[in-house]
């Protein structure tokens, strides 16, 4: 009779009751894994792993710490990673080569890896020298507690985020956009010195304030730099969950979720004119903007909530565990 694997994790996925009921966590009540540090998380996982079929790790550093500890001590890792080091390839950089070698070693000893974009399956398999069958694509979800259309809007265009954002293209596009353009960026992100008067910049503001700015927006924009890993999805899913039409760069992190002309608009990387034209088209045509936003929100409510994500993760973990058991039990050729 088929059974589900027992799972130990460092992943504090509190938005989903399905996940909470299916796994055991190394975190004590009220404790956040972020405050434990990667090494402490790895040690706790190592000490408890024998009682579980699978250990699921979230975050590149805890994943690496746990995998290295098991490897160095020659203990079975029973490891499924949900996030790995996949920065832009820099073969001439010693630190990049070291990180890649360490993750390759850990990945080759693991049961498998979960990704949140289809393109990452092939990229990770090639970089770490593992079969594509050891990876599973698990769609992302909205982190917004109460999805639903936020109305009315103030006519603004809002872009929020730090990782791999193309702020030069965004500012160039803003010069062609007739509306107020609100940019929420990190402290270290660099913007052009000569900002147009319609651009307003916020840095390191509280999450509640970013949500308020997004709730007031007419259009959400995610301008992304080309990359070998998915980025921008948290912001995109927040916008979708608020019923905001999304304009995004066509990239690894967007094409699994945004279908151009159906539930959002995709533009090519680096094309400021196309970005501006897409935003202006939605500002001038509220009916189009509402249709795209409604399609995306409906899909979010039916497929992209935390419990949907949790169930897909559990299914993928079970598949990787079952495949590993079958491989161990199959007769040698």
- Is 150 a member of any domain? no
Say if residue 133 is in the same domain as residue 244: no
- Is 149 a member of any domain? no
Q: Kindly state the DSSP code that residue 165 receives in the 8-state scheme.
A: B
Say if residue 281 is in the same domain as residue 314: no
- Is 198 a member of any domain? yes
pLDDT at residue 40, as a whole number: 94
Say if residue 174 is in the same domain as residue 286: yes
Domains: count for the chain: 2
Which CATH number fits the domain that encloses residue 134? 3.40.50.2000
| Assigned token pair, 64 | 């690496």
Q: Is the pLDDT of residue 101 over 90?
A: yes
- Work out the angle at residue 157's Cα, subtended by the Cα atoms of residues 155 and 163, and round it to the nearest 5 degrees: 160
- Is 99 a member of any domain? yes
- Is 147 a member of any domain? no
For residue 266, what are the domain limits?
156-303
Q: What is the pLDDT of residues 234-268, one digit of tens each?
A: 999 999 999 999 999 999 989 999 999 999 999 99
**For a pLDDT cut of 70, what percent of the chain falls above it?**
98
pLDDT at residue 2, as a whole number: 66
pLDDT at residue 331, as a whole number: 60
Say if residue 88 is in the same domain as residue 130: yes
Say if residue 63 is in the same domain as residue 24: yes
**Cβ atoms of residues 279 and 221 within 8 Å:** yes
Say if residue 175 is in the same domain as residue 273: yes
- Is 148 a member of any domain? no
HSE value, Cβ hemisphere, 13 Å, CA-based, for 188: 3
- Is 250 a member of any domain? yes
- DSSP codes, 90-158: -TT-HHHHHHHHHHHHHHHHSSEEEESSHHHHHHHHHHHT--GGGEEE-------SS--------SEEE
Measured CA to CA, the distance from residue 192 to residue 271 in angstroms comes to 17
Say if residue 137 is in the same domain as residue 191: no
Say if residue 51 is in the same domain as residue 172: no
Q: What is the pLDDT of residues 129-140, one digit of tens each?
A: 999 999 999 999
Say if residue 184 is in the same domain as residue 289: yes
Say if residue 120 is in the same domain as residue 166: no
Higher pLDDT, 327 or 183: 183
Q: What is the pLDDT of residues 12-36, one digit of tens each?
A: 888 999 999 999 999 887 778 878 8
Cis peptide before 152 (omega within 30 of 0): yes
**Cβ atoms of residues 292 and 257 within 8 Å:** no
- Is 208 a member of any domain? yes
Say if residue 219 is in the same domain as residue 272: yes
Q: What is the pLDDT of residues 159-218, one digit of tens each?
A: 999 888 999 999 999 999 999 999 999 888 889 989 999 999 999 899 999 999 999 999
Alpha helices in the chain (DSSP H): 17-22, 38-48, 60-72, 94-109, 118-128, 167-174, 207-215, 233-241, 272-284, 286-303, 306-329
Q: Is the pLDDT of residue 118 over 70?
A: yes
Say if residue 297 is in the same domain as residue 313: no
Q: What is the pLDDT of residues 273-285, one digit of tens each?
A: 999 999 999 999 9
pLDDT at residue 11, as a whole number: 86
């Amino acid at each position: 009779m088929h059974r589900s694997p027992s799972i130990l994790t460092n992943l504090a996925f509190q938005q989903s009751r399905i996940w909470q009921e299916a796994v055991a966590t190394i975190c004590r009540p009220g404790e956040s894994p972020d405050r434990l540090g990667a090494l402490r998380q790895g040690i706790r996982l190592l000490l408890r792993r024998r009682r579980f079929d699978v250990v699921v790790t979230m975050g590149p550093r805890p994943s690496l710490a746990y995998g290295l500890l098991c490897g160095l001590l020659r203990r079975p890792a029973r490891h499924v990673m949900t996030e790995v080091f996949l920065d832009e390839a820099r073969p001439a950089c010693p630190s990049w080569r070291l990180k890649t070698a360490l993750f390759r070693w850990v990945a080759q000893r693991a049961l498998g890896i979960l990704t949140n974009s289809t393109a990452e399956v092939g990229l990770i398999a090639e970089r770490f020298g593992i079969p594509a069958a050891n990876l599973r694509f698990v769609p992302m979800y909205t982190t917004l507690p109460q999805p639903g259309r936020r109305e009315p809007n103030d006519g603004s265009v809002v872009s929020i985020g730090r990782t791999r954002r193309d702020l030069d293209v965004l500012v160039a596009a803003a010069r062609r956009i007739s509306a107020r353009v609100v940019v929420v960026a990190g402290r270290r992100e660099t913007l052009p010195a000569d900002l147009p008067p319609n651009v307003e910049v916020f840095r390191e503001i509280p999450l509640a304030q970013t949500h308020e700015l997004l709730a007031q927006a007419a259009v959400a924009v995610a301008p992304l730099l080309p990359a070998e890993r998915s980025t921008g999805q948290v912001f995109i899913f927040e916008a979708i969950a608020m019923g905001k039409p999304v304009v995004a760069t066509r990239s690894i992190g967007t094409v699994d979720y945004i279908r151009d002309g159906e539930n959002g608009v995709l533009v090519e990387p680096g094309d400021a004119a196309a970005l501006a034209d897409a935003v202006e088209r939605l500002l001038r045509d509220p009916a189009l903007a509402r249709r795209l936003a409604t399609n995306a929100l409906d899909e979010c409510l039916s497929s992209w909530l935390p419990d949907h994500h949790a169930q897909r993760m559990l299914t993928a973990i079970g598949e990787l565990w079952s495949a590993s058991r079958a491989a161990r039990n199959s007769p040698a050729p």
